[in-house]
Amino acid sequence: MRKRLSLIKPSATLKISALAKELAKQGKPVVNMSAGEPDFRTPQHIVESAIKALNEGKHFYTPTRGIPELLEAIAEKVNKENEIPAKPENVIVTAGAKYAIFLAMQALLDEGDEVILLDPAWVSYEANVIMANAKPIWVKHDDSFEDAPIEEYVTSKTKMVVINTPNNPTGVVYPKGFLKKVADLAQDHDFYVLSDEIYEKIIYEGRHYSIASFDGMFERTVTVNGFSKAYSMTGWRLGYAVASEEIIKAMNKIQSHSISHPTSFVQYAGVTALKGDQRCVDEMVKAFRRRRDRIMEGLNELGIDYVYPKGAFYIFMRVGDGTTFAERFLKEEYVAVTPGEAFGSYKDYVRISYATSDENIEEFLKRLERFIEKF
C-alpha cells in the first residue's frame, strides 16, 4: 500500500452515516440532516430518455471523451450560461464530477506541487491532491467566509487553487471581486484554478460567476460540473470538465486507461437534461429556498450562529465541539448532522443539509431545541 494513502483521513461523514443507518435498522426514528444529495426523484423526461436510449440499442462503447451529442450540448451550455468560450474539443464527460476532479489533478499535478484549498471545503479535494502526490495547503476564510488571504500562501511551488462556488459546506456564493483576485494571482504566479461549480444552479441570492470566463483564465482553468445536484441524478454518475484542449487530452489519456468512458445510455439522459425543460430545476430550487428560510428562522429563534447560505443546500452551524455535538445529537435525539472536521479545521461547526422533507425539517428543529438545552 502506497505511503501517501495513509495520509488520507477517514471520512467523518461516512462515520456518522454508518451510525445513522445502524440506528435506523434498529427501528430508531432517525432524521437524516447529513445527506449531500437532493431528495427529489430524477425528472421523468430524463429517465425516459435513458430508457429510450436502451431500447434503441445505445448500450455499446462510446468515444472516451463522451458521445458527440453531449460534448456539443455541454459546450453550448457553458458558452451561453457561463460565458466560457468552449468548443466540444474542450469538454470531457466523466463518471461523476468527482472523477473529473481526480482526472484533472492526476493530469496537472506532480510530486512537490502545492495546491491551495479554502478551509472549510469538501475533504475529497484534499484526498485527490494527496493521491496525485502533491501537498494540500489549507487557507482559512475571513469571518464572512467570502474571502480568504490566498495571496499570503502562494509560493513558487503553488500549482493549483481549488474553488467551489456555491460552496459546500457553507452555502457561500463567492463574489466577483474575490474570484477576480484569484484570477489575477493565477496569472501573476502561473498556476491553475480548478473551479467546482456543481451547485451553480442552486442559488438564492447573488450571482454565479465562472472564473474561466474572466480575461486570460480559460487556458489555466478546469471547470468541473455535473448533473447530480441540479437534476437530482446523483446515482447516475455523470459529470464533466471544461478546459483547454491540451488539458482535456491529458485527462482523456487517463480516462482511456481507467474507466474507458461513462455509461453509454446515461450520456443520452445528460443531453436531455441540458436541452430539455428546465422547470424541474426551478421547482427544486424554489423548494430548497423555502426549506433554507424555515431552518434559518428556527436557528434565529434559538439564537444559534451559522454562516448565511446564499446557495447549495447546506447550513454551516456553530455549536462548540462539532464532533461531540454530532455524535451525541445522533445517539440522544436520533438526528444525523455532519461534523465540521469533515471539511477542514472548523471543528466547532456542523453541517446541516436541507435536502430533505419539510416534515424532517420541522422534526429537526423540535429535537434541536430540546437537545441544546442539554448540550
206: left (phi over 0), alpha (psi -120 to 50) or beta: left
pLDDT of residue 6: 75
One-letter amino acid of 306: Y
Q: Give the percent of the chain with pLDDT over 70.
A: 98
pLDDT of residue 18: 79
**pLDDT (average), residues 313-319:** 97
pLDDT at 307 over 90: yes
**pLDDT (average), residues 37-43:** 94
CA gap 49, 80 in Å, rounded: 23
Per the CB < 8 A criterion, the answer to whether 211 and 150 are in contact is: no
Return the bridge partners of 135, or none: 114
Q: Which residues touch 49 (CB under 8 Å, ≥6 apart)?
A: 268, 269, 271, 272, 276
What domains sit in the chain, N to C, each tagged with a CATH number? 3-42+279-372 (3.90.1150.10), 58-275 (3.40.640.10)
pLDDT at 1 over 60: no
pLDDT of residue 45: 98
CA distances to 92, 95, 237, 352 from 53, in Å: 20, 18, 17, 37
> What is the rounded average pLDDT for all residues in the chain?
95
What is the Cα gyration radius of the chain?
20
| Nearest of 156, 161, 159 to residue 138 by alpha carbon | 161
pLDDT of residue 7: 75
pLDDT of residue 21: 83
pLDDT of residue 373: 86
CA gap 337, 35 in Å, rounded: 8
pLDDT of residue 2: 63
CA gap 115, 125 in Å, rounded: 10
- Strands (DSSP E) found in 135-185: 135-140, 158-164
Strands 192-196 and 239-242, sheet pairing: unpaired
pLDDT at 15 over 80: no
CA distances to 137, 231, 278, 368 from 69, in Å: 39, 18, 18, 48
> Which comes out higher in pLDDT, residue 23 or 12?
23
| Interval 118-129: pLDDT, tens | 999 999 999 999
pTM: 0.95
pLDDT at 198 over 60: yes
